């Protein structure tokens, strides 16, 4: 049995690759970072979001690759932090699409209260949010797609991944702008904008589809 509790203290680790020449990277190079890290630690199934060699973990990924202030970064949640920190500290360079970069690893580990709170929190999407997936595509095509409801579902996915069992209802209200983003030579509908919610979330967490490579990254607005 589990006890309902609307918030939970979760460790969040942010690891920034500060390159020797202070290079500024683009969103597309996040994919290169992910590919390099997966190649370096290929034998460790946790980096692939798998439970075992043959079983995929359908929970929200606990390792997310990002751009933070122009720097490549990895954000890690909960029990994965120490293992990832050790692995990253064993590297002294990264290779992004054939270009090698020496770097200093900037680590920040903090404990945050994540979950449903009594006050409203405001966030903005730092990178486009992929709200549409296979499960809701028909709703989108039929004009019945509710963005606020989908964003609420995305937050509940985070709760499940972090074992947060909330008894209160997640509330969200956003202002969204539709755009088209090309990914792997395919065009995808994405959304930008901001929203208010009764959920406390850490900066740079990703929501929605492709969050492991930075889509749907949010930051708080004062």
Which H or E run contains 146? none
Number of domains in the chain: 2
Q: Is residue 3 part of a domain?
A: no
- CATH code, 94: 3.30.70
- Long-range CB pairs of 88-95 (<8 Å, 24+ gap) are 88/15, 91/40, 94/17, 94/33, 94/36, 94/37, 95/32, 95/36
Place of tokens 């509908």: 189
Q: Is residue 2 part of a domain?
A: no
pLDDT band at 139 (very low <50, low <70, confident <90, very high): confident
Chain segment 91-115, per-residue pLDDT in tens = 999 999 999 999 999 999 999 999 9
Regarding whether 119 and 200 lie in a shared domain, the answer is yes
User: Rounded to an integer, what distance in angstroms lies between the CA atom of residue 96 and that of residue 192?
Assistant: 27
Strand pairing of 186-200 and 218-220?
A: unpaired
Strand pairing of 218-220 and 99-125?
A: antiparallel
Tell me the pTM.
0.89
Regarding whether 29 and 65 lie in a shared domain, the answer is yes
Regarding whether 143 and 94 lie in a shared domain, the answer is no
- CATH code, 167: 3.30.70.1900
> How far, CA to CA in Å, does 208 sit from each of 43, 100, 177, 179?
27, 31, 15, 15
Query: By percentage, how much of the chain surpasses pLDDT 90?
Result: 69
State the pLDDT at residue 33. 96
User: Rounded to an integer, what distance in angstroms lies between the CA atom of residue 174 and that of residue 36?
Assistant: 35
What tokens does 107 get? 């680590």
Domain housing 20: 8-110
> How far, CA to CA in Å, does 172 sit from each of 13, 128, 135, 199?
26, 18, 20, 8
Range 19-39 average pLDDT: 93
State the pLDDT at residue 60. 57
3 state SS of 158: helix
User: Rounded to an integer, what distance in angstroms lies between the CA atom of residue 59 and that of residue 88?
Assistant: 23
Q: Is residue 214 part of a domain?
A: yes
Local structure of residue 176 (DSSP, 8 states)? E
Taking 3-state DSSP, the helix, strand and coil percentages for the chain, each rounded to the nearest 5, stand at 25, 40, 35
> How far, CA to CA in Å, does 68 sit from each of 36, 56, 58, 106, 214?
18, 28, 26, 12, 10
Burial class (CB in 10 A: 0-12, 13-18, 19+), 30: buried
Query: What's the longest Cα–Cα distance across the chain?
Result: 52
Evaluated on CA atoms 212, 4, 198, 11, the torsion sign reads negative
Regarding whether 138 and 78 lie in a shared domain, the answer is no
Chain segment 163-182, per-residue pLDDT in tens = 998 889 999 999 999 999 87
Chain segment 36-95, per-residue pLDDT in tens = 999 999 877 677 654 544 444 445 578 999 999 999 999 999 888 999 999 999 999 999
Regarding whether 105 and 17 lie in a shared domain, the answer is yes
């Amino acid at each position: 049995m589990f006890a309902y509790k609307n918030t939970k203290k979760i460790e969040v680790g942010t690891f920034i690759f500060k390159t020797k020449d202070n290079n500024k990277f683009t969103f597309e190079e996040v994919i290169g970072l992910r590919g390099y890290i997966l190649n370096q630690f290929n034998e460790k199934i946790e980096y692939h979001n798998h439970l075992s060699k043959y079983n995929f973990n359908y929970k929200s990924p606990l390792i997310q690759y990002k751009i933070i202030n122009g720097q490549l970064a990895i954000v890690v949640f909960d029990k994965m932090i120490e293992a990832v920190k050790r692995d990253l500290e064993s590297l002294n360079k990264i290779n992004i699409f054939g270009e090698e970069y020496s770097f200093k690893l900037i680590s920040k580990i903090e404990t945050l209260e994540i979950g449903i709170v009594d006050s409203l929190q405001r966030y903005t999407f730092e990178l486009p949010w992929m709200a549409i997936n296979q499960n809701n595509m028909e709703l989108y095509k039929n004009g019945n797609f509710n963005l606020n409801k989908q964003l609420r579902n995305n937050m509940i996915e985070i709760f499940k991944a972090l074992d947060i069992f909330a008894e209160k209802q997640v509330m969200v209200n956003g202002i969204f702008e539709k755009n088209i983003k090309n990914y792997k030579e395919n065009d995808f509908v994405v959304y930008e904008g901001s929203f208010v919610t009764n959920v406390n979330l850490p900066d740079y967490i990703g929501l929605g589809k492709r969050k492991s490579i930075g889509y749907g990254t949010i930051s708080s607005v004062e």
